Chain A
Amino acid sequence: MLIYFCKRLGLAVLVTIAVSMISFMMIRVSGDPAIALAGEAATSEEIEFVREQYGFDRPLIVQYLEWASRAIRGDLGESPYMNLPVTEMIGNRIGVTMTLGICALSFAVLLSVPLGVLAAIRPNTWIDRLALTISVIGQAMPSFWFGLIMIIVLGVKFRLLPISGAETPAHFIMPTIALGYYATPAIMRLVRSGMLEVLASDHIRTAKAKGLRWGKILYKHALRNAIIPVVAVLAVQLGFMLGGSIVIETVFALHGIGHLAWVSIGRSDLPVVQAIVLLLSIIYVVLTFLSDMLNAFLDPRIRVK
Chain B
Amino acid sequence: MKHLLEVKHLFVDLPLPAGMLHAVRDVSFHLDMGETLSLVGESGCGKSITALALMNILPPKAIRRAEILRFEDTDLLRLPDEQMAQLRGAKMAMIFQEPMTSLDPCYTIGNQLEEAILEHKGISRHQARERAVYLLDKVGITGADSRLKQYPHQLSGGLRQRIMIAMGLMCGPSVIIADEPTTALDVTIQAQILELLASLQREFNMGMILITHDLGVVARVADRLAIMYCGQVVETGYTADVFANPLHPYTRGLLDCIPVPGKTKPGDKLGSIAGIVPTPIGDLFGCSFRNRCPQAGADCVQNVDLLELSPGRAFRCLDRPEGLEVSS
Contact = CB atoms under 8 A, between A and B. Distances in A.
Scoring B102, B103, B167 by chain A CB atoms within 10 A of each residue's CB, the highest score goes to: B102
B151 A300 contact: yes
B104 A221 contact: yes
For chain A, give the interface size range.
Answer: 20 to 34
Given A202-B96, A205-B96, A211 B103 contact: no
Nearest to A298: B106
Nearest to A300: B151
A211 B119 contact: yes
A211 B87 contact: yes
B106 A225 contact: yes
Given A202-B102, A205-B102, A224-B106, A211 B90 contact: yes
A235 to B, nearest CB: 20
Interface string B71-91: 000000000000011111110
A46 B240 CA distance: 107
A203 interface: yes
Is the contact region of chain A dominated by helix, strand, or loop, or is it mixed?
helix
A38 B165 CA distance: 79
Nearest to B55: A209
B327 interface: no
B115 interface: yes
Interface string B152-178: 011000000000100100000000000
Given A304-B151, A304-B154, A211 B106 contact: no
Contacts of A208: 55, 57, 88
A38 B120 CA distance: 78
Interface string B97-122: 01001111111100000011001100
A35 B145 CA distance: 72
B153 A210 contact: no
A202 B101 contact: yes
Contacts of A186: none
A206 B106 contact: no
Interface string A212-227: 1100100011001100
A16 B109 CA distance: 40
B95 to A, nearest CB: 9
Interface string A190-213: 000000000001110111111111
A1 to B, nearest CB: 13
A225 B152 CA distance: 14
A33 to B, nearest CB: 52
B94 interface: yes
Contact of A301 (B84, B94, B153): B153
B105 A205 contact: no
A241 to B, nearest CB: 28
Scoring A216, A299, A300 by chain B CB atoms within 10 A of each residue's CB, the highest score goes to: A300
A201 B96 CA distance: 12
Contact of B106 (A209, A216, A299): A299
A210 B151 contact: no
Contacts of A300: 105-106, 108, 151, 153
Contacts of B107: 220
Contact of A213 (B55, B85, B102, B167): B85
B93 interface: yes
A299 B104 contact: no
Contact of B101 (A201, A209, A224): A201
Interface string A78-122: 000000000000000000000000000000000000000000000
B86 A203 contact: no
Given A201-B101, A202-B101, A209 B93 contact: yes
Contacts of B98: 202
A225 B154 CA distance: 17
Interface string A167-206: 0000000000000000000000000000000000111011
A224 B89 CA distance: 22
Contacts of A225: 104-106
B182 to A, nearest CB: 16
B102 to A, nearest CB: 4
Contacts of B57: 205, 208-209
B105 A206 contact: no
B58 to A, nearest CB: 10
A216 B93 CA distance: 18
B89 A212 contact: yes
Contact of B89 (A202, A211, A220): A211
Given A205-B96, A301-B153, A210 B102 contact: no
A122 to B, nearest CB: 10
B105 A301 contact: yes
A203 B104 contact: yes
Interface of B: 55, 57, 84-90, 93-94, 96, 98, 101-108, 115-116, 119-120, 150-151, 153-154, 164, 167
- 7 smallest A-B Cβ distances: which pairs? A211-B89, A211-B88, A210-B89, A210-B116, A202-B101, A209-B94, A300-B151
Given A216-B119, A225-B106, A301-B153, 13 more contacts: A202-B96, A203-B103, A206-B102, A209-B55, A209-B88, A209-B89, A209-B96, A210-B116, A211-B85, A211-B120, A212-B89, A220-B115, A299-B106
10 contacts: A203-B103, A203-B104, A206-B167, A209-B57, A211-B85, A211-B120, A224-B104, A299-B105, A301-B105, A304-B150
